[in-house]
Amino acid sequence: MARPLRVQYPNAVYHITCRGNEQKPIFRDDEDRSIFLKKLIESMDIYAVKLHGYVLMGNHFHLLLETPLGNLGEFMRRFNISYTGYFNYRHKRSGHLYQGRYKSILVDKDNYLSILSRYIHLNPIRTHLFEKASPRDKTNYLRRYRWSSLPGYLDKGKREPFIEYASVLDEYGGDTERGRRGYLRTLYEDIEEALEIRGKIIGQSILGGEEFVTWVDKTFLEGKGDLESSSVRTIKKHLGKKEILKVIEEVTGKTLEDMVEEKGILRQMGMELLCRIGGLKGPETGVLFRVGYTSVSQERRRLRNRLSHDRDAQYLFKQLLGKCHD
């Protein structure tokens, strides 16, 4: 199996995860977490890295960061060595702290920065303890979770100076009270819908829209050897919005304009397919259908309700899904 790619360039954005060796904790108490953030800030200052979000869990962490100088490898090497050295010294241990090398997903900033920030912020409730909890209880827990950048996104008084909040909040109306409310409202919808992104990651290492994936392919992957060959093939199988809309037209005879004007269940299916298979997020899908991103979320929810009991709708949707996966 090919190793995931390490594509680096100025202003690249990444989702970084790192797990403890043998699934063991990398934080034993709050002092460890505080020092972790201190080491992170030191490394960010040295390598001019920007941080859009983070979550610290018991045996792993998530970072959403940007590298203006295209130096992810140097930054992560210094940061991981620094924290490992501290942890081993304090807890009188030796050897590897992390399970292999860190995992990095290259992110399409224009289309996926916001959704990925929300995905990261939802991590504290992705445990068996919250399986039966209500969306409201989950939201309240997340708002109180201390070792996350989420509180600063929702409450200006809880801001941390090393977090870049503005880029994510731009999608919700800016770094304003309205923008923060919009972010929270979308996060709540994500909890109800069980937001997931793993199925949208291309070649184990890229999360992006059609244009971004094509650009990465042509700029960094063409002509590469066996190391990246499987990832290149995966990227070239990516189904874009044009292909999805073509499938809908072939099966139903309806164009995008028809769906916009007629509304109804076919428009809902178009939205669902574009988000689920095409990798588009709510605002981008909303532009296509001339509605707001909250309307996209509402229409997708109505479709799921309809599919739970309408056999004709089930048949049509399965037909569309099948053609998309051919």
CATH number corresponding to 239-326 = 1.10.1750.10
Boundaries of every domain in the chain: 12-199, 239-326
Closest to 274 (Cα-Cα) out of 314, 315, 321, 235: 321
Rounded Cα gap, residues 223 and 235, in angstroms: 14
Residue-wise pLDDT for 50-108, tens only, equals: 999 999 999 999 999 999 999 999 999 999 999 999 999 999 999 899 988 899 999 99
Report the alpha-carbon distance of residue 4 to residue 203 in Å, rounded: 7
Distance CA 181, CA 172 (A): 8
Cα torsion through 187, 192, 196, 197, rounded to 10? -40
Convert the pLDDT of each residue in 207-232 to its tens digit. 988 888 888 888 887 755 433 444 44
Q: What is the pLDDT of residue 224?
A: 55
Residue 169's pLDDT band (cuts 50, 70, 90): very high
Give CA separation, 95 vs 77, 89, 266, in Å.
16, 11, 57
Is the pLDDT assigned to residue 194 strictly greater than 80?
A: yes
**What are the structure tokens assigned to 153, written together?**
């996104």
- pLDDT confidence bin for 137, thresholds 50/70/90: very high
With contact defined as beta carbons under 8 Å apart, do 26 and 20 qualify? yes
Give the span between the Cα atoms of 137 and 172, in whole angstroms: 23
Q: Report the predicted TM-score, pTM, of the whole model to 2 decimal places.
A: 0.71
Q: Is 17 exposed, middle or buried (0-12, 13-18, 19+ CB in 10 A)?
A: middle
| Distance separating alpha carbons of residues 195 and 192, to the nearest angstrom | 8
CATH number of the domain at 12-199, please?
3.30.70.1290
Q: Which of 325, 227, 244 lies closest to 285 in space, CA to CA?
A: 244
The strands making up 60-67's β-sheet, listed across from edge to edge, are 50-56, 60-67, 12-19, 103-107, 206-207
